Amino acid sequence: MTHSEHTPSGELDAGQWSAPDADHDMTPPDGNAWDLLIIGGGTAGLVAAKTAAGFGASVLLVERDRTGGDCLWTGCVPSKALLAAAHAAADARAAARLGVHIDSVRVDFAEVMEHVRLAITTIEPEDAPAALRAAGVRVVHGTARLSGPDTAVVDGATITFRQALLATGSAPAVLDIPGLADADPLTSDSIWQLDHLPPRLLVLGGGSIGCELGQAFARLGSQVTIVESAPTLLPREDPMAATMLFAAFAEEGIAVGNGGKVASVSRDEDGRSTVSFSNGTLRVDAILVAVGRRPRTRDLGLERAGVDTDERGYVVVSDRLQTSNPRIWAAGDLTGHPQFTHTAGVHASTAASNAVLGLRRTVDTATIPRVTFTQPEVAAFGVSPHQAAAAGLTVRDIHHDHVDRAIADDSTRGITRLVLDRKGRVVGASIVGPRAGESLAELVLAARHGLRARPRRRDARLPHLRRRCLEGRDRRGAGRFDQPDGRPCHPGARLGPAPPRLTLNTDDRLTTVKCWTASRPSSRPR
Ligand SMILES: Cc1cc2nc3c(=O)[nH]c(=O)nc-3n(C[C@H](O)[C@H](O)[C@H](O)COP(=O)(O)OP(=O)(O)OC[C@H]3O[C@@H](n4cnc5c(N)ncnc54)[C@H](O)[C@@H]3O)c2cc1C
Ligand SMILES: NC(=O)c1ccc[n+]([C@@H]2O[C@H](COP(=O)([O-])OP(=O)(O)OC[C@H]3O[C@@H](n4cnc5c(N)ncnc54)[C@H](O)[C@@H]3O)[C@@H](O)[C@H]2O)c1
């Protein structure tokens, strides 16, 4: 694999830099140094800039292409917009199973791409230079390069900074396969320029991008083949999740070659490509390469500034997101952390706060959620179920064919797998099914707060200050209040010196507490 440093600017460029109020002056307000120089205006750069400016720091953000970065122009926004159209087509085709017959489903690819572009241009003003300026950030169009421990050069001009944040993101990795470059392969940067649906699409890589875009194009009408070099799709996920996704893909006609590798590619005279594998060939109209990403850290002058990278080129950061140069911080895809827009945002805000205010906030990497927005969705965080046993943890499986909501929706292909520690606390989860991402959010919250998932009969102690019982039962009638001496509680009963106990057959503590509105609260039990 080699780096792709392609700058994805294209026809979607909203002319961000031609605004009459565009800045060219890079002189800091105090005439000496910027409090924070930010290189890169994607999710990480935008969040860091607004955070630091909000603290009153002087902030200069330098972006060489378009503010908004991958998420807005080539990543989350266009891919989710495309998936919305693709899933709508598939839902319409499948509606007959619920008794709703939609006789003909026609996909107009040009209109679908128009929807994708509209989503981008609707969101763009939030990320535009004008929005940054309104937040007090100086933003300039140019390519920045570090030139020393506290200096950078932007298109020939030298800038001095007190602190800097690197947020240059990542770019699609390209494959070194004989003939592939001549076949003009698509990447997640260039696929958004397509104006015709490719009749036959080969996707190299069955990770998040390969699965999401592979399913999207299949549902819009392409004949899709996904070749994944690992033994399963989504190899970072729980194998059970990968197997379920594989089955869903097979059912809708997506060919998946797990453990496959392309040997060579040749461009045919008609513009199509013949792809050779060890066991045969495939003729396709387009090839999408989605085999991971590489950090945009080349040509950033990192050595001059004393910023270390790892063997793959990612900037090495501490848990406070500081690099080996204490003045320089990094956040987002160019660090080795999970490459998600929410990670970029949270880490950028932490790094900017640490840099500008001198705080020592650290980032949590144990509970970062991830969601692949295929149908079914695949969502996970923390310890994976298939690693649980080795870590002395237990797994609790809930198959969705026993879940009423899934049965009602006729979408029972799915599973929720909870990884629990010895006290029953959630330390990881993997969910396959509709709205898996939304369901995961509750579990992440549970993990962050050390909550237990184990259902059991629980004796909940009531606060000492409650002296008179208002209700003998909890509101749902699911549990009964008793005094420790065996006397039952009933509305109006005086309570003894020891707190009464509530026996519940669920573990819903909040409901328990609400049931007990004291008539005469007192801080001391009598
Ligand atoms: C197809 C696809 C789908 C995705 N879907 C999701 C999703 O559903 N959910 C999710 O959480 N994440 C998703 N992601 C990942 C998400 O887009 C990235 O994690 C996120 O955009 C990273 O933000 P960043 O700020 O680190 O980098 P970027 O957004 O890449 O921003 C870096 C910026 O730095 C600029 N730059 C680079 N070098 C220089 C320089 N020398 N000088 C000045 N500027 C420079 C670049 O032009 C760019 O604008 C997806 C990614 C892709 C490709
Ligand atoms: N919903 C989301 O949050 C979302 C969606 C898309 C992308 N992303 C982010 O973007 C990143 C990049 O996505 P990606 O799919 O390019 O990377 P990925 O790392 O998720 O998947 C790349 C896949 O390509 C396979 N591969 C590598 N070399 C290959 C080869 N020669 N032939 C066939 N397969 C090969 C790998 O085994 C891997 O499964 C993701 O890791 C994720 O962080 C997130």
From 201-205, 300-304, 362-366, 471-475, the region with the lowest mean pLDDT = 471-475
Top mutation candidate among 3, 71, 80, 208 for ligand 2, by most atoms within 8 Å of CB: 208
Q: What is the mean pLDDT of residues 180-208?
A: 97
Q: Is the pLDDT of residue 213 over 70?
A: yes
Pull the structure tokens for residue 49.
Answer: 């800039």
Pull the structure tokens for residue 258.
Answer: 């797990």
Q: Is the pLDDT of residue 91 over 80?
A: yes
Would you state the pLDDT for residue 485? 64
Is the beta carbon of 262 within 6 A of some atom in ligand 1?
no
In terms of C-beta density within 10 A (0-12 exposed, 13-18 middle, 19 or more buried), how is residue 29 classed?
A: exposed
Is the beta carbon of 368 within 6 A of some atom in ligand 2?
no
3-state secondary structure of 280: strand
Q: How many residues does the chain have?
A: 526
More confident residue, 485 or 122: 122
Q: How confident is the model at residue 10 (pLDDT cuts 50, 70, 90)?
A: very low
Whether a cis peptide bond, with omega within 30° of 0, leads into 500 is no
Nearest alpha carbon, ligand 1 atom 51: 75
* Eight-state DSSP code of residue 426: E
Q: Is the pLDDT of residue 81 over 80?
A: yes
Would you state the pLDDT for residue 260? 83
Q: How confident is the model at residue 17 (pLDDT cuts 50, 70, 90)?
A: confident
pLDDT in tens, 387-400: 999 999 999 999 99
3-state secondary structure of 113: helix
Would you state the pLDDT for residue 438? 97
Would you state the pLDDT for residue 479? 55
More confident residue, 407 or 21: 407
Q: What is the mean pLDDT of residues 511-520?
A: 35
Q: Is the pLDDT of residue 36 over 90?
A: yes
DSSP secondary structure of 227-275: EESSSSSSTTS-HHHHHHHHHHHHHTT-EEEET--EEEEEE-TTS-EEE
469, 495 in Cβ contact below 8 A? Answer: yes
Would you state the pLDDT for residue 279? 86
In terms of C-beta density within 10 A (0-12 exposed, 13-18 middle, 19 or more buried), how is residue 151 classed?
A: middle
ipTM: 0.99
292 CA → ligand 2 middle, Å: 4
Nearest alpha carbon, ligand 2 atom 2: 372
d(CA 149, CA 406) in angstroms, rounded, equals: 57
Backbone angles phi, psi at 13, to 5 degrees: -55, 120
Mean residue pLDDT of the chain comes to 88
What 90-96 contacts at long range (C-beta under 8 Å, 24+ apart), as own/partner pairs, is: 90/219, 90/252, 90/375
Report the percent of the chain where pLDDT is more than 70. 83
Tell me how far CA of residue 82 lies from CA of 112, 120, 269, 467, in angstroms. 7, 11, 31, 59
More confident residue, 379 or 174: 379
Q: Is the pLDDT of residue 129 over 90?
A: yes
Q: Is the pLDDT of residue 519 over 50?
A: no
Report the percent of the chain where pLDDT is more than 90. 80
3-state secondary structure of 115: helix
AA letter at 143: T
Q: How confident is the model at residue 433 (pLDDT cuts 50, 70, 90)?
A: very high
Nearest alpha carbon, ligand 2 atom 39: 207
Is the beta carbon of 143 within 6 A of some atom in ligand 1?
yes
Q: Is the pLDDT of residue 5 over 80?
A: no
From 145-149, 360-364, 488-492, the region with the lowest mean pLDDT = 488-492
Top mutation candidate among 39, 51, 67, 70 for ligand 1, by most atoms within 8 Å of CB: 70
Q: How confident is the model at residue 500 (pLDDT cuts 50, 70, 90)?
A: low
Top mutation candidate among 204, 209, 288 for ligand 2, by most atoms within 8 Å of CB: 209
141 CA → ligand 1 middle, Å: 17
pTM for the model: 0.87
Would you state the pLDDT for residue 15? 78
Would you state the pLDDT for residue 318? 98
Would you state the pLDDT for residue 474? 47
Would you state the pLDDT for residue 102? 96
pLDDT in tens, 338-373: 999 999 999 999 999 999 999 999 999 999 999 999
Q: Is the pLDDT of residue 255 over 90?
A: yes
Q: Is the pLDDT of residue 490 over 90?
A: no
Q: Is the pLDDT of residue 124 over 80?
A: yes
